């Protein structure tokens, strides 16, 4: 039996003091949005409660699907790296970046450099000449092959879209096939939901069809994402059957907002190739915001889920 947890959209706060030079960019829109909206509902103490409860479950691995920071300033990126060290060992924690981690040009590279021990693949080296081409990565942990993909790119103001490139798609297929030949349970991590309509047009993932083709061709057992701050399950049709695509609420979302309260998913895997058993318990912040409780349980493998007959169907869970 192997247990792994999933959190996303950390949005570590509060914002640091910004210089005028830092604000003379897309960051000004994010700065205003933080003070008008996000700061009212994203709380550090909420994140602390969630992580504290998660650690009591003793997962074998933790997966984080992006947006560790808000405006991707140098100090935010460094503090996020220090926060990661308090969360878990790099060998037991895997990170892929989100759009906020690449908020302005150059931010993606800084984020990858700062969090590299939590991103690096099994080869232990930089696979490409620059940080934008490190992904996809593969980390083998127990019965898992964790495939890290990135949609993290700098975008214009009022845009939060992501991009999945043809090169990354080709390499993802190769890694998925290799992991499948090794008999591993393949978990794909990506920030943006790879499903049409899951995010509004200015927040969508560009390359959704490309990603779906890569998953269908290479094969996978599970896709985990963030970005929407929602608890969702989608299904991707592939040559190998239906593949669950699971999203999770922001790990810092406090009570009282229009988005669901902070949560993490805890997956339990057993079985073997062709006969996997996978269940998921969602633990979420309670209504009063002073504790974490079991919020939902779901079985993905070992018992057919009710929505499996609806390709790319989504359900809030």
What's the pLDDT score for residue 118?
97
Fold of 2-316: Purple Acid Phosphatase; chain A, domain 2 (3.60.21)
- DSSP string for residues in 155-200: --TT---EE--HHHHHHHHHHHHHHHHTT-EEEEE-SS--STTSS-
Strand 61-65 to 93-96 pairing: parallel
Please check the confidence at residue 35 and state whether its pLDDT lies above 60: no
Please check the confidence at residue 307 and state whether its pLDDT lies above 50: no
Q: What is the mean pLDDT of the chain?
A: 87
- As a whole number, mean pLDDT of residues 45-49 equals 93
What's the pLDDT score for residue 56?
97
- As a whole number, mean pLDDT of residues 262-277 equals 96
Burial of 124 (0-12, 13-18, 19+ CB in 10 A): exposed
Please check the confidence at residue 24 and state whether its pLDDT lies above 70: no
Q: Quote the crossing angle between the two packed helices 166-181 and 208-218, to the nearest 10°.
A: 20
What's the pLDDT score for residue 37?
59
Q: Which residue in 231, 198, 201, 228 sits closest to 212, CA to CA?
A: 198
pLDDT-derived band of residue 297, with 50, 70 and 90 as boundaries?
very high
Q: Which residue in 270, 223, 268 sits closest to 247, CA to CA?
A: 223
Q: Which residue in 194, 230, 139 sits closest to 312, CA to CA?
A: 194
What's the pLDDT score for residue 26?
62
Please check the confidence at residue 317 and state whether its pLDDT lies above 90: no
Residue 14 and residue 279 in contact, taking contact as beta carbons nearer than 8 Å? no
Please check the confidence at residue 131 and state whether its pLDDT lies above 90: no
Residue 231 and residue 259 in contact, taking contact as beta carbons nearer than 8 Å? no
Tally of CB atoms within 10 A around 308: 13
Structure tokens given for 315: 């359900």
- As a whole number, mean pLDDT of residues 108-125 equals 90
The residue that leads in pLDDT, 226 or 13, is: 226
What's the pLDDT score for residue 15?
57
Dist. CA 244–CA 158, nearest whole Å: 30
Burial of 56 (0-12, 13-18, 19+ CB in 10 A): exposed
User: Among positive and negative, which fits the CA dihedral 293, 297, 300, 305?
Assistant: negative
Domain boundaries, the chain: 2-316
User: Among positive and negative, which fits the CA dihedral 123, 139, 246, 6?
Assistant: negative
Please check the confidence at residue 81 and state whether its pLDDT lies above 70: yes
What's the pLDDT score for residue 305?
44
What's the pLDDT score for residue 306?
43
Percent of the chain exceeding pLDDT 90 equals 71
The residue that leads in pLDDT, 211 or 160, is: 211
CA 308 to each of CA 90, 150, 247, 261, 271: distance values in angstroms, whole numbers, following the listed order = 34, 27, 16, 26, 20
Please check the confidence at residue 21 and state whether its pLDDT lies above 70: no
Burial of 194 (0-12, 13-18, 19+ CB in 10 A): buried
Please check the confidence at residue 86 and state whether its pLDDT lies above 50: yes
- As a whole number, mean pLDDT of residues 280-294 equals 95
Residue count (the chain): 317
Minimum mean pLDDT range among 10-19, 65-74, 247-256, 273-282: 10-19
What's the pLDDT score for residue 16?
57
pLDDT-derived band of residue 157, with 50, 70 and 90 as boundaries?
confident
């Amino acid at each position: 039996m192997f247990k792994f947890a999933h959190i996303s959209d950390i949005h570590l706060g509060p914002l640091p003091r910004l210089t005028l030079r830092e604000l003379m960019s897309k960051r000004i829109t994010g700065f205003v949005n933080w003070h008008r909206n996000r700061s009212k509902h994203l709380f550090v103490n909420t994140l602390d409660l969630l992580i504290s409860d998660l650690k009591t479950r003793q997962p074998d691995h933790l997966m984080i699907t992006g947006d560790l920071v808000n405006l991707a300033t140098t100090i935010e990126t460094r503090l996020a790296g220090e926060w990661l060290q308090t969360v878990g060992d790099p060998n037991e924690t895997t990170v892929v970046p989100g759009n906020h981690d690449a908020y302005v040009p150059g931010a993606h590279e800084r984020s990858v450099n700062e969090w590299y021990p939590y991103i690096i693949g099994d080869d232990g080296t930089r696979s490409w000449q620059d940080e934008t081409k490190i992904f996809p990565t593969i980390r083998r942990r127990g019965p898992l092959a964790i495939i890290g993909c990135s949609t993290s790119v700098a975008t214009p103001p009022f845009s939060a879209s992501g991009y999945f490139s043809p090169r990354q798609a080709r390499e993802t297929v190769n890694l998925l096939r290799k992991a499948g030949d090794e008999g591993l349970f393949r978990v794909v991590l990506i920030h943006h939901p790879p499903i049409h309509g899951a995010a509004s047009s200015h927040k969508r993932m560009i390359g959704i069809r490309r990603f779906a083709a890569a998953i269908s061709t290479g094969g996978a057992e599970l896709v985990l994402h963030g970005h929407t701050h929602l608890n969702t399950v989608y299904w991707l049709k592939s040559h190998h059957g239906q593949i669950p695509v699971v999203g999770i609420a922001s790990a810092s979302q406090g009570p009282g907002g229009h988005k669901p309260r902070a949560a993490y998913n805890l997956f339990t895997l057993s079985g073997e190739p062709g006969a996997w058993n996978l269940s998921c318990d969602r633990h979420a912040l309670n209504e009063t915001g002073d504790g974490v409780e079991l919020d939902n349980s779901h079985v993905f493998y070992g018992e057919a889920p009710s929505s499996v007959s609806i390709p790319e169907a989504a359900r809030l869970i």
